[in-house]
A and B are shown apart, each in its own frame.
Chain A
Amino acid sequence: MPPPDVILASVLDGLLLGFVYGLAAMGLTLIWGVMEVINLAHGPVITLGMFGLFFLFQELGLHPYLALPLVVVGGLLLGLLIYGVAVHRVLDAPHLSTLLATFSVNMMIIGLGTAAFTTTPRNVDFSLGAVEIGPLRLLGTRVVAALAAVLFTLALYAFLYRTRTGKMVRAVANNRAAAELMGIPSTRILALSFGIGTLLATGAGGLIATLFPFNIFTGGVYELKSFVICVLGGLGNPTGALLGGIILGFIEGFIPPFLPVGWTPVIEFVLFVVILLIRPSGLLGAR
C-alpha cells in the first residue's frame, strides 16, 4: 500500500485533468445529443486546438490564456465548415454514413496536419509555478485548466438555458421535426450545435497544450477518452460528460499508485464496454 499522501497527490492531479477530459467529451456529447452523430473527427479537432494555441503563443507571442478565446472562435468556424461539407447531407442516412463522413474529415485533417506540421512533438513552454497546500503540490497550469473547463461548462449552460438560440438548440435536440414545425431554422441550429461541439473540443485541446507535449496524433487519445466519458455519463448529456470526465480523471489518478500505469487503459476500456452493455444510457442517464 503506497503512502496516503502519494495517493492523494495522484488522485488530485487526476481530478484536475478530469475536468479538461470532461470538457473535450462535452463537445462530442453535445453533437450526439443534438443530431445523433458520433463525430469521429473529434480527435483531430482537439489536436487543431492544441496547434492553434501553440502557434499563437510561439509565433505571435500571445499569452496562452489570451490565445484560448481566439482558438475556440476558430474551432466554431471549423465546426460550421465540417458540418456544411461533410455532415449535413448525410444527417438522415444510416449511422454508417455519418460515422464515415466524419471519419473522412479526420483523415483529411490528419493528412494536411502531417504535411504541414510533421509529427515532431511540440510543447507550449509556459509555466505558472505550483500551489502548495500542506504536503500537496498542484501545478498552476492544471488548476487554471480545470477552472477554465468549469467556466466553459457554465457558459454552455448559460447559452443553452438563458438564450433564445440556446433554447432552439434544445428544442432541435428534443424533436427536430416538431422544432421545424414551430419555425425553428433547424439547419442553422444544427450547424451551430456542431460548431459549439468543435468549439468545446478545440478549447479542451488548447488547455491540454498548456499541460503536455503533443503532436498531430495526440488528439486521438483524447477522442478515445471522450468516448469512454460519454458512455460513463450518458451519451448526449453535457453534465454527464463533465462528471464522466472527473470519474475518468479519478481512475487515472487512483490506479497508478497501485498498478503499473499500463493497466489504466485496460480498466478504462473494459469499464467502457461493460457500461455500454449493462447500462447504455450511462451511469447518470435514465434507464
Chain B
Amino acid sequence: MKRLKAPALWTILAAVAVAGIWPLLNRSATLREDMFLILMFVTLASSLNILLGYTGYVNFGHIVFFGLGGYIGFYLISQQGWHLIPAALAAALVTTLLAALMGGAVLRLRGAYFALATLGINEATRAFVTNFKPFGEATGLSLHFSRYQEYGGPASALWFTYALLVIVTLVTLLVSYLVKTSKFGLGLMAIREDEDAAMVLGIHAPRAKTIAFALSAFFPAIVGTLFFFKNGNIEPGDAFRLHMSIEGIVMIMLGGFGTVTGPVIGSAVYERLRGYLLTTPLFKDLQLFFAGMLLLIIILFVPSGFIGWLRERSARLREVLQ
C-alpha cells in the first residue's frame, strides 16, 4: 500500500497520538478532560468531513449520530449491564445501519434542502427520544456509581474511557485519510464538484453518498457512548445539541474543508480558543460572540480554511498536505 507511506499521514497521526498520550503519562485529570473534549471534536469534525468536505453535502444534524449512539450505548451499559466496549461497538453498528437507511432517502435532496432535512432529522429524533420510555424520556438515563467498579473504580473508568477515545480518534483519522486517497473518495469528491457529471462518468452516486453518510455516523456513535459513559448520565438536551453540529462545521471550515488535517487543526484551535475565552474574565460572557466573529471572518476572507489556504500556495504542498 503506497498510500500508507505518506509522511503527512504519519505526522498527523503521531502528533495526535503524542498529544493524546501526554495526559496518560503525567496523570493530570484536568489535562485529560481538556484533551477529551479536543479529541472528541476531532472525531466529530473528521467524520463529518467525510460527508461535508469530501462529498459536499451540508449536514446540520451530524450530532444526531453522537446522540443516538450515545443513547444506545448508554442504554446497553446502564440498563442491560453491557461492558463499555461491546456497548460502544453495538451502538456504532446500529447507528450506522440507521444512517444507511435514512441516507438512502434523504440524500436525494440537494443543497439547502438536504441541510434542512438533516436539521429536521435531528429535531425529530430529539423530540422522539424525549418521549421514549426506555430512554428515560425528558430526564434521560443515569449510571449507578457501582457500575464503574467493573473498571476498577470511577477514576480508572475515566482513564480507561479516555484511552479508548485516543484509539478511536486515531482510527477515525486513518479512515478519513484512506477514504480521501481511495477511488471511493475520488468518487465522492467528483460528486461534490458536480453530481450529475460524476454520474455520467460512471459513479454510482446514490450508493456512494449513502456509504459516505453511513460511514460518517460510525465514529460519532462510539464517541457518544464514551462521552456519556464518562459523564454518568445522558439527556436529550445534551445528546442532540444542534449547536455542536454547527461547531463541528466551524472547526472544519477553520482548518480546511475536505482535508484530513484540517479538522484536526480546526478542532484543536477552536477548542483552545474557546477555553481561553471562557477563562478570561473580559471575554467570558462574550465567547459566543467572538466565536461567531471568527467564523464570519473565515467565511468571508479564508473560505478554504488554514490547510486549504496552504494547499492553494503550491502544487507540491497540495500533494503533501492531505
Q: Are A277 and B109 in contact (CB under 8 A)?
A: yes
- Report Cα–Cα, A276/B291, bound state, in Å: 31
- B108 on the interface (CB 8 Å rule)? yes
Secondary structure at the B interface, as helix, strand, loop or mixed, is helix
Interface segment out of the listed A100-108, A150-158, A188-196, A207-215? A100-108
Q: Are A115 and B116 in contact (CB under 8 A)?
A: no
Q: Are B289 and A111 in contact (CB under 8 A)?
A: yes
Q: Are A107 and B123 in contact (CB under 8 A)?
A: no
* A115-B285, A273-B117 as given contacts; A36 in contact with B291, CB under 8 Å: no
- Report Cα–Cα, A224/B112, bound state, in Å: 15
The residues of B that contact A255 with a CB separation of less than 8 Å are none
- Report Cα–Cα, A104/B246, bound state, in Å: 10
The residues of B that contact A105 with a CB separation of less than 8 Å are 292, 296
- B138 on the interface (CB 8 Å rule)? yes
Q: Which of B58, B106, B296 contacts A99 (CB 8 A)?
A: B58
Q: Count the A residues whose beta carbon is within 8 Å of the partner chain — how many?
A: 43
Closest to B253 in A: A100
Q: Are B286 and A115 in contact (CB under 8 A)?
A: yes
- B15 on the interface (CB 8 Å rule)? no
Interface centre among A97, A105, A266 (most CB of B within 10 A): A266
Q: Which of B131, B288, B296, B299 contacts A262 (CB 8 A)?
A: B131
Q: Are B303 and A93 in contact (CB under 8 A)?
A: yes
Q: Count the B residues whose beta carbon is within 8 Å of the partner chain — how many?
A: 43
- Report Cα–Cα, A262/B60, bound state, in Å: 23
Secondary structure at the A interface, as helix, strand, loop or mixed, is helix
- B290 on the interface (CB 8 Å rule)? yes
Closest to B138 in A: A262
Q: Are A107 and B112 in contact (CB under 8 A)?
A: no
Q: Are A276 and B116 in contact (CB under 8 A)?
A: yes
B123-151 with Cβ < 8 A to chain A: 123-124, 127-128, 130-131, 137-138
Q: Are B113 and A100 in contact (CB under 8 A)?
A: no
The residues of B that contact A108 with a CB separation of less than 8 Å are 288-289, 292-293, 296
- B29 on the interface (CB 8 Å rule)? no
Per-residue contact bits, chain B 72-92, to A (CB 8 Å; 1 contact, 0 not): 000000000000000000000
Q: Are A111 and B292 in contact (CB under 8 A)?
A: yes
Q: Are A101 and B296 in contact (CB under 8 A)?
A: yes
Q: Which of A97, A227, A273 contacts B299 (CB 8 A)?
A: A97
- A272 on the interface (CB 8 Å rule)? yes
Q: Are A107 and B288 in contact (CB under 8 A)?
A: yes
- A256 on the interface (CB 8 Å rule)? no
- A243 on the interface (CB 8 Å rule)? no
- B105 on the interface (CB 8 Å rule)? yes
Q: Are A277 and B299 in contact (CB under 8 A)?
A: no
Query: How far, in Å, is B1 (CB) from chain A's closest CB?
Result: 33
Q: Are A273 and B120 in contact (CB under 8 A)?
A: yes
Q: Which of A38, A104, A280 contacts B295 (CB 8 A)?
A: A104
A223-281 with Cβ < 8 A to chain B: 224, 227-228, 231, 260, 262-263, 265-266, 268-270, 272-273, 276-277, 280
* A262-B138, A263-B131 as given contacts; A99 in contact with B289, CB under 8 Å: no
* A36-B112, A99-B58 as given contacts; A273 in contact with B124, CB under 8 Å: yes
Q: Are A107 and B58 in contact (CB under 8 A)?
A: no
Q: Which of B60, B117, B287 contacts A111 (CB 8 A)?
A: B287
Query: How far, in Å, is B110 (CB) from chain A's closest CB?
Result: 9
Q: Are B299 and A266 in contact (CB under 8 A)?
A: no
- A86 on the interface (CB 8 Å rule)? yes
Q: Are A231 and B292 in contact (CB under 8 A)?
A: no
Q: Are A269 and B288 in contact (CB under 8 A)?
A: no
- Report Cα–Cα, A280/B106, bound state, in Å: 11
Q: Are B127 and A99 in contact (CB under 8 A)?
A: no
Closest to B247 in A: A107
- Report Cα–Cα, A124/B160, bound state, in Å: 51
Query: How far, in Å, is B258 (CB) from chain A's closest CB?
Result: 11
- B244 on the interface (CB 8 Å rule)? no
The residues of A that contact B287 with a CB separation of less than 8 Å are 111
The residues of B with any CB-CB pair to A shorter than 8 Å are: 52, 56, 58, 60, 105-106, 108-109, 111-113, 115-117, 119-121, 123-124, 127-128, 130-131, 137-138, 246, 249-250, 253, 285-293, 295-296, 299-300, 303
Q: What are the 4 closest A-B residue pairs judged by CB atoms, nearest first?
A: A111-B289, A107-B292, A111-B288, A269-B124
Please give 13 more A-B residue pairs, beta carbons under 8 A apart, in addition to A103-B295, A224-B119, A277-B105: A85-B296, A90-B299, A93-B303, A95-B112, A104-B299, A105-B296, A107-B288, A108-B288, A115-B285, A231-B116, A231-B120, A277-B109, A277-B117
